[in-house]
């Protein structure tokens, strides 16, 4: 009877030791995953700040003016270039009248 009890106690100690080793392994693995996730979070935060700074730089008046001039072929307004809608309508009507002749 005493030998059987010792055998059961030995099994319980071995199983509890295996559970302890497994839980320590899981704790180390989870700690590593948390550390990686925090590093990724820091990297994403740095990227976010960099992108916000780039967006802010792209939205400056000078940058908008440069894009309008280069890509859209726009030019600065001057009194010599102003054409009102009435002038445009009259010019279009004159062009149609000249084409009809």
Quick: pLDDT tens for 50-97: 999 998 888 888 888 888 888 888 887 777 766 666 666 666 776 766
Quick: pLDDT tens for 23-54: 999 999 999 999 999 999 999 999 999 999 99
Alpha-carbon gap, residue 64 to 101, rounded angstroms: 45
2 or 12, greater pLDDT: 12
Distance of CA 49 to the CA centre of its chain: 10
């Amino acid at each position: 009877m005493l030998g059987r009890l010792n055998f059961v106690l030995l099994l319980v100690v071995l199983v509890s030791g295996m559970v302890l080793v497994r839980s320590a392994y899981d704790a180390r693995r989870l700690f590593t995953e948390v550390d990686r996730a925090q590093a990724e979070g820091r990297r994403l935060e740095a990227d976010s700040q960099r992108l916000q700074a780039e967006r802010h730089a792209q939205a400056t008046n000078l940058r908008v003016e440069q894009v309008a001039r280069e890509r859209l072929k726009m030019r600065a307004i001057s009194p010599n270039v102003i054409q009102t809608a009435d002038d445009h309508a009259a010019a279009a009507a004159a062009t149609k009248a000249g084409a009809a002749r």
